[in-house]
């Protein structure tokens, strides 16, 4: 399937990474965010990330310009009209995502594929009542997107075989490896990862060990590249809290209940790296 252009809805942490990965693989990309300021922030995030590769000598100046030249930014949804694939990466909130998708289907072609990067919401719920539900699917990327190889392709009950195949082709085109998961909250990776992260938070909350020792324990004892609390800070505690709520809604298992410290930190604006403070100061 030809993806020219790819449209990305939301140029935050994930949307910027998706745009950068696709542009690095040669695809034209259009990023839509809410207003000029948010578009400028997305541009700065992408330029910073690609710029770091150039500064490390991993990209030439020409390649740097080429990648950035493939990405355009807009605050107007109508500018996404020609997209063959739209990947939605707005905040993890069902009402917000549904409202944006309802506007989007009025703008794009009926055969354009529509993917959500949701971490925990059901694709069926996002696509419910929308025209042509067979073209909806989940494309769940991992942070930082330009570095992480995996994308989970989430196939909902009404996602067509052609949509799934096109998504697999797209993953290969942008240099990712795909695994396929059913439309269940958490898919494969978060369903396994989140109980582990919550266990680390509970351990910290109970004063069992310091954040640094919990993290070093898992790095040095299990060979993990990053400890669980540093990983929580990287994912974003606000995002994690919403993911826990969705997982608990779906399965009603105590391992998905956010511990009190997670809610208190989110309420206090301690979102992790993006707020320069979480379990660690940045």
Ligand X SMILES: NC(=O)c1ccc[n+]([C@@H]2O[C@H](COP(=O)([O-])OP(=O)(O)OC[C@H]3O[C@@H](n4cnc5c(N)ncnc54)[C@H](O)[C@@H]3O)[C@@H](O)[C@H]2O)c1
Does the protein bind ligand X through residue 100 (CB under 6 A)? yes
Q: Tell me whether residue 44 or residue 220 sits nearer to ligand X (CB atom).
A: 44
Q: Which of the ranges 10-18, 22-30, 154-162, 224-232 carries the binding residues for ligand X, by CB under 6 A?
A: 10-18
Site string for ligand X, 199-238 (x = CB under 6 A): ------------------------------------xx--
Residue of 143, 160, 173, 219 that binds ligand X (CB under 6 A): 143
The alpha carbon dihedral of 33, 39, 45, 51 has a sign of positive
CA–CA separation, 147 and 53 (whole Å): 11
Q: Residues 175, 27: contact at Cβ < 8 Å?
A: no
- Binding-site member from 21, 24, 49, 118 for ligand X (CB under 6 A): 118
What distance in Å separates the CA atoms of residue 133 and residue 231, rounded to the nearest whole number?
A: 34
Stretch that binds ligand X, among 114-122, 203-211, 219-227, 258-266 (CB under 6 A): 114-122
Can 37 be counted among the known catalytic residues? no
**Of the candidates 232, 239, 244, 265, which one interacts with ligand X according to CB under 6 A?**
239
Residue 134 Cβ, how far from ligand X at the closest point, in Å? 22
Q: By CB under 6 A, is residue 173 in contact with ligand X?
A: no
In the annotation, is 140 catalytic?
yes
Q: Give the total of residues touching ligand X (CB under 6 A).
A: 26
9 binds ligand X (CB under 6 A): yes
CB of 62 to ligand X, least distance (A): 29
Instruction: Indicate which residue of 92, 140, 185, 246 is catalytic.
Output: 140
The one catalytic residue among 20, 152, 185, 246 = 152
The one catalytic residue among 16, 116, 119, 120: 119
CA distance 166 to 28: 17
List binders of ligand X among 14-33 (CB under 6 A): 14-15, 32-33
Among residues 50, 80, 90, 244, which is the contact residue for ligand X, using CB under 6 A? Answer: 90
- What is the Cα–Cα distance from 8 to 6, expressed in whole angstroms? 7
Q: Does residue 13 bind ligand X (CB under 6 A)?
A: yes
Stretch that binds ligand X, among 138-146, 180-188, 198-206, 217-225 (CB under 6 A): 138-146
Q: Which residues are catalytic?
A: 119, 140, 152, 190
| Residues at the contact surface with ligand X, assessed by CB under 6 A | 9-15, 32-34, 38, 89-92, 100, 117-119, 140-143, 235-236, 239
């Amino acid at each position: 399937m030809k993806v020219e252009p790819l449209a990305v809805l939301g140029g935050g942490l994930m949307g910027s990474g998706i745009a950068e990965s696709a542009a690095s693989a040669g695809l034209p990309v259009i990023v839509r965010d809410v207003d000029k300021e948010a578009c400028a922030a997305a541009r700065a995030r992408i330029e910073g990330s690609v710029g770091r590769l150039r500064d490390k000598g991993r990209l030439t100046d020409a390649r740097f310009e080429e990648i950035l030249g493939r990405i355009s930014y807009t605050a107007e949804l109508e500018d996404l009209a020609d997209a063959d694939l739209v990947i939605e990466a707005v905040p993890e909130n069902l009402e917000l995502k549904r409202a944006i998708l309802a506007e989007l289907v009025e703008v794009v072609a009926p055969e354009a594929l529509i993917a959500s990067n949701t971490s925990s919401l059901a694709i069926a719920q996002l696509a419910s009542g929308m025209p042509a539900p067979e073209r909806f699917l989940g494309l769940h990327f991992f942070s930082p997107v330009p570095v992480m190889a995996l994308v989970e392709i989430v196939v909902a009950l009404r996602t067509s075989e052609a949509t799934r195949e096109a998504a697999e082709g797209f993953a290969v085109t942008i240099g990712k490896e795909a695994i396929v998961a059913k439309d269940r909250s958490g898919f494969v990776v978060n369903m396994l990862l989140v109980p582990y992260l919550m266990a680390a938070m509970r351990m910290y909350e109970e004063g069992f060990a310091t954040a640094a020792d919990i993290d070093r324990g898992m790095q040095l004892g299990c060979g993990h590249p990053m400890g669980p609390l540093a990983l929580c800070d990287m994912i974003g505690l606000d995002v994690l809290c919403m993911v826990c709520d969705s997982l608990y809604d779906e399965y009603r298992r105590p391992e998905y209940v956010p511990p009190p410290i997670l809610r208190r930190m989110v309420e206090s604006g301690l979102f992790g790296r993006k707020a320069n403070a979480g379990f660690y100061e940045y």
